[in-house]
Homo-oligomer: A and B are copies of this chain.
Amino acid sequence: MNTIAADQPDPQWVLTLSCIDGPGIVHAISGAVVAAGGNIAESQQFASADTGRFFMRLQVEAVAQPETFETRFESAVSPVTQRYNMTWRLDRVGRPVRTLVLASTATHCVNDLLYRQRGGQLPIEVPLILSNHETVRDIAEFYGVPFEHRAIANPADRAAFEARVLEAVEEHDIELVVLARYMQILSPELCAALEGRAINIHHSFLPGFKGANPYKQAHQRGVKLIGATAHFVTTDLDEGPIIEQDVARVDHSYSPRELVQLGQDEEARVLRRAVNWFAENRVLVDGDRTIIFR
């Protein structure tokens, strides 16, 4: 969580990496930390039997001279990342992630994210909310977040909306796009452009339902659990790598509308967790699935 800074006042850095698995990786990486005068405060790793890849997340604190630590650490770790042909990323713990939020009419996810962002419980900053409806404008204004409305009435509008998304990503140097119940299907081009940095949330049921009005179908089939899934956006829209899932218990007495309400609570909770973990560099992708370093 983003409160580490407050609990541990020393500045910290987070290193995430992945590479083909093999002997000596941890030793080499930890050697770079020692060489840079750092101390490993937190470390998690996973070797994927499916893909043969190794994944690691390291939180490192500077033992001395924190102001120049980042440069020293990058110098020390660079030969290691090259030797193992690593994909890697170094970040500052607690740094707010620049996040673009896309919305439609539903308010529950936007409200939850902004409430927590303001309260210092979610390390994101939101330079813009883009929506094809006006519904969340007053929430955005209350939380002091710029809001922009662009109606979508036809395919040309949608193309223009998507062009604005890409422009905003560029303009604000966006790191994460959150589809907070943005109810439009993204074009394959936009999905591809945002791969690995766009998170979507949708309801989930056992069994799954195809077609319109899934809550009504869930009611008709008498499901005993309703849930939500947060996942990365891919061109296969609701099938990207899963980041988080949760469910709530229901019974036969719930009307379709009550199912929707409870489902929205789950959506807000699940999306909040997924965004938080992403912002803390806890989410790594391993083929079609995610590694979550909690």
Residues of A within 8 A of B (CB): 1, 3-4, 6-8, 21-27, 30-31, 33-34, 37-50, 63, 107-108, 111, 115, 119, 121, 138, 142, 204-208, 219-225, 227, 229, 238-239, 241-242, 244-247, 251-253, 255-258, 261, 286-292, 294
Name the one of B6, B34, B224, B286 contacting A252, with C-beta atoms under 8 angstroms.
B286
Min Cβ gap A272→B in Å is: 9
What residues of B have a CB within 8 angstroms of the CB of A238 in the complex? 207
What residues of B have a CB within 8 angstroms of the CB of A23 in the complex? 33-34, 37-39, 63
What residues of B have a CB within 8 angstroms of the CB of A227 in the complex? 206, 225, 247
Which of A1, A39, A224, A227 has the most C-beta atoms of chain B within 10 angstroms of its own C-beta?
A: A224
CA A3 to CA B253, docked complex, whole Å: 13
State whether A224 and B206 are in contact (beta carbons under 8 Å apart), knowing that A1-B258, A255-B49, A289-B252 are contacts in the complex. no
Whether B220 contacts A288 by the Cβ 8 Å rule is: yes
CA A230 to CA B115, docked complex, whole Å: 23
